[in-house]
Structure 1
Amino acid sequence: MKKIQWMPVIIMAGMLVACGKDDHLPDGGEGPGNGNTDTTYTTIASSGTIQLSEARSYMAAATAAGKMFFAGGNKTGGQASATIDVYTVETGAQSTLALSLPRERHTAAAAGNTVVFAGGNYDGTHASPIECYDAAGAKWLNPGSSFPRFLCAAAGLDNVVLIGGGFYGNGYYPRRVDIYNVTTQAWDSTQLSKGRAYVVAAAAGKKIVFAGGASNDPTVSDVADIYDIATKTWKTSKLSTGRADLVAVACGSQIFFAGGYSNTSNQYLDVIDIYDAATNSWSTAKLGVPRSHIAAASVGNFVLFAGGSTAAGPSDAVDVYNTKTKAWSTMKLSMVREGAAAAGLRNKILVAGGNGSAAGKSAEVFTLSK
């Protein structure tokens, strides 16, 4: 169980927080929280587990070129990891890559066939080098560095990846958002309306949304910063309630901001704020169990919210939403997991790693059927 105190000294002491793990590329593009959005499935079921190369929690996940990437995170002993577990969806083959430096409390996102790994902490240092992997060409690129930070968020859309928010130290929560164009390998920057860490991000339509988080303010944030990549302009909206340690995942034109923890009420939350990029409107739903540190992903018309932290400890709860029927259902993981990472692609969703019993070295596979 993790009850977060929103103070820089506590953050520096090593809070383990998932950072913007579930980003999305719409219209059939590849990214965690997405797979074949033009395909309608009728069922989703657990189809067993696979083993990761290394036990860890709070990884960053992304997908590109038919592969899922689960990168970095915290090893069992608390050290940062440089390992990337790679899962090829079509064949089920597993392999590994390595980051150039270990990262924890970092983020990942994909645009096209390029996966971007950014931010994080290693040996008490905030990571500034950006690492990019060309998943189609199976080669590393050299994009340079962005602003050093951790507890940040990233999302990819079309040919750009945005990396925003986070914490730098000495009470500094940057507003800066770095924009990386994977086609030209050029950098640009813009700003959030308010700097904050523990923020999450996801994309749908032509919009990328950074929401929630915490900073020097005594209460967690309800701010949702919405960036239009076509016009390169921002609009600001609000979540129904402020929170951090939430998760973001997109499906079709909708982005789901689920769960989290509020230091105002000292409660784990069950609220889901749903932003529709097509209509620029908001609605709400509820999780079956209030929790934070959830892993979330989507494939086709199904969105899955798995595990997390509750007042009683790590959770095995799974909430599933069918965007076609607008029906909610519940399932159970095979074991409790908090701080897991999730990715969805084609007809598979993987929920990988996390804290709780033997969760750290396994990934649960969910298969969707028509």
Structure 2
Amino acid sequence: MIRLLIVEDSALMRKLLGQIFGAEPDFEIGFARDGDEALKIISNFRPDVVTLDIHMPRMNGLECLDRIMLEHPCPVVMVSSLTEEGADETFAALEIGAVDFIAKPSGAISLGIEELAPRLIEKVRIAASVRIRRSRRLAERVRLAQSQPSAVIRVSKPRETEPRHVAEGRTGHGLVLVGTSTGGPPALDAVLARLPSGFEWPVVVAQHMPASFTGALARRLDKICAMTVSEVTRPTRLEPGNIYIARGDADILISSRAGNLVAMAAPSDPEYRWHPSVDRMVRSAMKHVPAKALIGVLMTGMGNDGAAAMTDLRSAGGYTIAEAEETAVVWGMPGDLVQRGGATEVKRLDQIGQHLLDRVC
């Protein structure tokens, strides 16, 4: 049985979520109306996973999450609104230690939550299997003690101290393709912030996320990365020194116009389950860029999006990196790549950024 604690101040949402999970045979459910009540219940109920609303009276979701992570670490899935403020708060929650998030439906909640039910159940089941690493929490305890737990983290864009040059005879000009899902935003922080402004290859990122969140993700990454980060909302020429974030609820395609590589948002293809689709991104790039000039990076995420296409990329002569199981929040996507034999290298999260530098620069 999976012990699930639903923390939600809305009686209607508690009822709807209770009905969704109560219909599943493998859930034991507890309820809390706010953060204070949740902290009292957790010590006795010992949940395997918590769903946590961000906006609650007395103690908001971020404050409650901070206390959970420090006092009773367990997997937490945030329930957030589809607004810019909701996106910023969600990224703060992921930084503090939440495993994943689910966006509240807009409009009639009772109808919208039924449509979200299968994905919500899947996310909670996956989250329940995640092991919270105590060593990671020790480092965060120091950081969180020095900051406001509910504050969105802001970091100044670093200056490039020494320009980097492409080593002649190495790999030439190409493209880096990155795919992530559950646990992705903190993983992107760790990898992309290591790349200098003079990084010679454009980087294109497909992170499974709603459209209302990917713009906020790009702005957040732009503050902590030396490279320039932007969301792809229209056909955009790919330039070195830039990171391009695929727009959510759509797919991103790589094409060529007048001899220049271009990224563009495209309506999501129902043939692919997850969006923005990593598989579709990689396959489109392979049509316009030689495989030997492509590097595919597949990091934390549930499911197998990207694994098939990156396996084909490696077979065609491309280079692929899978995040190691020891650092991945969920080893679904990179694990599937490894199991298919499609990973050229398997690297811990803290090694991937430097490995890209060694490979390209």
Structure showing the higher helix proportion among its residues = 2
TM normalised by structure 2 equals: 0.29
Structure holding more strand per residue: 1
The structure showing larger relative contact order (alpha-carbon pairs under 8 Å, at least 6 residues apart) is 1
Q: Normalising to structure 1: TM-score of the pair? A: 0.28
